């Protein structure tokens, strides 16, 4: 006999967990089918920052102000109806998280286009550290934090701790001692595992959702890939899965919610959709996870797609670690590329961006420059000994922690390049030396005047977050003058893909005539982003993923009610 559930959710990331918990709290029998052997998807590895304008946690923001902002930063078409309902439902989703015992905390993080009308610095929320012991036997099945978000790939840190230590702000040694002490004094866990039981950032978001889901009787089926959608008389009624080589059909009485992430690990789909080709290996998401099987299954039953031509960009650097996984090799250069005493140039030796801008903006600038010059992706981060002393650069720690002699010999002249002069460095990285010298001379003038007339580096609230507050007149501009000089290649990496199944404001998947396919919903990177190509602020992927997961669950619950399970109704626009 075929197994059946009220609702089947494909994927256990932020979108899937929110949908599943919401549906389970309304009394539905929910199954999460998860391809990986671990729970949490990219979301569990992430910063866990969630962009919810007007979140209701002590803000005077409004949906109107947020809409003004989203429209102003849209870099191409957006789905205005979806943005509208996202803004309306976001606060309800946050209130729901509070009802189930979670404690979202607003974070003073400037929106990624701080100069745009309607921008604010209070729209992102984070979640306090979560004690993995609360998950009991499920704890080892939780996907671990992104390598770089843990100190020495071991110690869990929250945002404040990570920032204090990485920028060596006042009190950093005390913070370091606290982080390490918390780990080593947890003697009972140390006897069992190297893994820190405190789950931070994305783990702190996913952990409590999993706890709730299990409490409510929800079921996981791990290591199980959704391969196809079952459709009967135009209605999606289940999924065809594959597990250990065995194919099985699972039935969903009231709906299937696709929360299976993007297609960043599918080279063929990247090549088919992206305007600038990029390699799966530059993705910073868990390798081999999100390959777009559900997107393809949707296409097979006539679903439409949108915004598939682009990703959530982040510049990445790939450490040459011959025995490590891609996930361990990859370093997001989110902050590194914008630190003072450095500049980014394409392979012609030309600057192309305000290096301290938001990471998706940086990636878009790489794409545009690549299309124009053919000399980007990868580009170069060039820096001096002062930068090297103070900051990290893609896994190369500041000199106090990792002097040059400690850098593995195999990294030199493959990953990190060093020379006594800019001219010689240019020779090593095969960039026009006259141009690179001229760019560095200009940057040094800008450091003195505090103004970057070309790209405005350090001229807005977002940029200065990552500068050196001790540097005057502009914290983002420091002289590139102290030898030796260094360079590291920077690739067009991603945090996932922006496009997917085309959905309406109720998270219903649409066909090529823009008609909903009955019984099929999507949220998160499995669906097209409501913001199109724009990444409005910190948490701009997880925020809508959770909100549309929440909406999709309510829609399925409403279907269940219609079928006789009670009176639940969802505000349907
Ligand atoms: C290091 C890092 C930090 C980040 N930080 C942030 C941040 O702070 N804020 C933010 O907004 N964004 C952040 N991002 C991006 C963000 O994590 C993702 O965009 C977001 O988590 C996507 O959520 P999702 O639920 O759509 O997909 P995911 O979290 O990727 O979950 C999808 C799940 O579906 C499963 N799956 C895939 N295919 C199938 C299938 N065929 N059948 C069954 N299951 C399947 C996958 O295994 C996965 O578990 C970060 C990304 C990275 C890599």
Give the DSSP H or E segment for 369: helix 359-373
Shared-domain flag, residues 122 and 239: yes
CA-39 nearest atom, ligand 1? 49
Whether 332 and 301 map to the same domain: the answer is: no
CA–centroid distance, residue 35 to ligand 1 (Å): 12
Question: What spacing in Å lies between the alpha carbon of 528 and ligand 1's midpoint?
Answer: 14
Pocket test for ligand 1, best of 143, 239, 541, 553 (most atoms within 8 A of CB): 541
CATH number assigned to the domain comprising residue 537:
3.50.50.60
Is there a single domain that holds both residue 275 and residue 410?
no
Query: How many residues belong to the chain?
Result: 573
Residue 159 lies in a domain: no
Burial class (CB in 10 A: 0-12, 13-18, 19+), 246: exposed
114 and 250 in a single domain? The answer is yes
User: Which CA distances in Å does 147 have to 123, 156, 201, 390?
Assistant: 26, 10, 12, 21
Concatenate the DSSP letters of all residues of 169-216 into one string.
-TTHHHHHHHHHHHHHT-HHHHHH-SS-SEE-THHHHHHHHHHHHHHT
Q: Which of 520, 548, 564, 573 is nearest to 28 (CA)?
A: 564
Picking from 474, 492, 510, the residue at the C-terminal end of a domain is: 492
Do 324 and 266 fall into the same domain?
no
| pLDDT tens by residue, 423-468 | 999 999 999 999 999 999 999 999 999 999 999 999 998 999 888 9
C-alpha of residue 545 to centroid of ligand 1, in Å: 9
How far apart CA 94 and CA 96 sit, in angstroms, is 5
Q: Which DSSP letter does residue 403 get?
A: -
Domain shared by 403 and 267, yes or no: no
Q: Counting atoms of ligand 1 from 1, which one is nearest the CA of 241?
A: 42
Task: Take atom 13 of ligand 1 and give the residue whose Cα is closest.
Answer: 46
Q: Which two tokens stand for residue 183?
A: 């780990």
Residues 400 and 293 in one domain: no
Q: What is the pLDDT of residue 298?
A: 98
Q: Give yes or no: residues 456 and 528 share one domain.
A: no
pLDDT value of residue 566: 53
| Helix, strand, coil share of the chain (percent; to 5) | 35, 20, 40
Beta strand residue intervals within 480-532, DSSP E? 485-497, 500-501, 508-510, 516-522
How many angstroms separate the alpha carbon of residue 145 from the centre of ligand 1? 12
Based on the fold, state whether residues 335 and 367 are members of the same structural domain: yes
Write the CATH number for 434. 3.90.700.10
Distance 529 CA to ligand 1 centre (A): 13
Q: Does a structural domain hold residue 214?
A: yes
Which segments of 26-141 does DSSP mark as H helices, in order?
Answer: 41-45, 63-73, 80-99
Ligand 1 centre and the CA of 534: distance in Å?
Answer: 18
In a domain, 190, yes or no: no
Given 470, 492, 514, the domain boundary residue is: 492
Q: Do you find a cis peptide bond into 378, omega within 30 degrees of 0?
A: yes
- To test ligand 1's pocket by mutation, which of 282, 495, 546, 553 has the most ligand atoms within 8 angstroms of CB? 495
Ligand 1 atom nearest residue 227's Cα: 41
Contact 7, 255 (CB under 8 A): yes
Residue ranges, the chain, pLDDT below 50: 567-573
Q: Using the 3D structure, point to which of 492, 519, 545 is the last residue of a domain.
A: 492
Structural domain that includes position 371: 316-492
DSSP H or E stretch at residue 8 = strand 4-10
- Minimum CA distance residue for ligand 1 atom 8: 47
- What is the reported pTM? 0.94
Q: Which residues contact 564 (CB under 8 A, 6 or more apart)?
A: none
Distance of CA 260 from the midpoint of ligand 1 (Å): 8
């Amino acid at each position: 006999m075929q197994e059946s559930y009220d609702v089947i959710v494909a994927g256990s990331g932020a979108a899937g967990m929110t949908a599943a918990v919401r549906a389970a709290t309304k009394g539905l029998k929910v199954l999460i089918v998860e391809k990986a052997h671990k729970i949490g998807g990219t979301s569990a590895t992430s910063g866990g920052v969630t962009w919810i304008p007007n979140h209701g946690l002590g803000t005077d923001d409004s949906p109107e102000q947020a809409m003004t902002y989203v429209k102003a930063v849209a870099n191409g078409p957006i789905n205005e109806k979806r943005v509208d309902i996202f803004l309306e439902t976001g606060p309800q989703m946050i209130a729901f998280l509070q009802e189930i015992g979670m404690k979202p905390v607003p974070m003073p993080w400037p929106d990624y286009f701080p100069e745009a009308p309607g921008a604010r610095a209070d729209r992102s929320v984070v979640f306090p550290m979560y004690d993995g012991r609360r998950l009991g036997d499920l704890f080892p099945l939780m996907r671990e934090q992104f390598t770089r978000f843990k100190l020495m790939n071991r110690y869990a840190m929250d945002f404040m701790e990570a920032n204090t230590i990485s920028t060596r702000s006042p009190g950093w040694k005390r913070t370091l001692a606290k982080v390490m002490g918390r780990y080593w004094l947890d003697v009972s866990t140390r006897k069992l595992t190297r893994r820190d039981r405190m789950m931070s950032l994305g783990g702190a978001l996913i952990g409590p959702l999993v706890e709730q889901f299990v409490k409510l009787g929800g079921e996981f089926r791990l290591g199980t890939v959704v391969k196809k959608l079952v459709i009967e008389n135009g209605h999606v009624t289940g999924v065809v899965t594959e597990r250990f080589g065995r194919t099985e059909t699972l039935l969903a009485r009231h709906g299937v919610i696709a929360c299976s992430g993007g297609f960043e690990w599918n080279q063929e789909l990247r090549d088919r959709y992206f305007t600038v080709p990029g390699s799966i290996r530059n993705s910073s998401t868990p390798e081999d996870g999100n390959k777009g099987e559900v997107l393809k299954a949707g296409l097979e039953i006539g679903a439409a797609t949108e915004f598939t031509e682009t990703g959530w960009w982040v510049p990445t650097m790939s450490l040459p670690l011959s025995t490590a996984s891609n996930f361990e090799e990859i370093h997001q250069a989110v902050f590194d590329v914008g630190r003072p005493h450095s500049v980014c140039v394409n392979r012609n030796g030309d600057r192309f961006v305000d290096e301290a801008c938001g990471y998706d903006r940086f990636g878009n600038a790489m794409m545009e420059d690549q299309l124009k010059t053919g000399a980007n992706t990868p580009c170069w981060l060039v820096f001096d000994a002062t930068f090297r002393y103070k900051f990290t650069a893609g896994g190369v720690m500041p000199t106090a922690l990792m002097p040059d002699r400690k850098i593995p010999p195999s990294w030199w002249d493959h990953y990190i390049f060093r020379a006594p002069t800019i001219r010689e460095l240019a020779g090593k990285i095969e960039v026009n030396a006259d141009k690179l010298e001229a760019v560095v001379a200009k940057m040094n003038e800008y450091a003195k005047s505090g103004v970057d007339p070309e790209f405005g580096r350090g001229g807005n609230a977002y940029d200065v977050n990552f500068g050196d507050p001790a540097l005057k007149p502009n914290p983002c501009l420091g002289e590139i003058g102290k030898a030796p000089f260094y360079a590291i290649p920077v690739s067009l990496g991603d945090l996932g893909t922006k496009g997917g199944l085309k959905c309406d404001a109720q998270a219903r998947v649409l066909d090529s005539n823009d008609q909903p396919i009955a019984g099929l919903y999507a949220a998160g990177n499995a669906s097209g982003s409501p913001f199109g190509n724009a990444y409005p602020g910190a948490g701009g992927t997880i925020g809508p993923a959770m909100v549309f997961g929440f909406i999709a669950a309510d829609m399925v619950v409403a279907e269940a009610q219609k079928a006789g399970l009670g009176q639940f109704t969802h505000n349907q626009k």
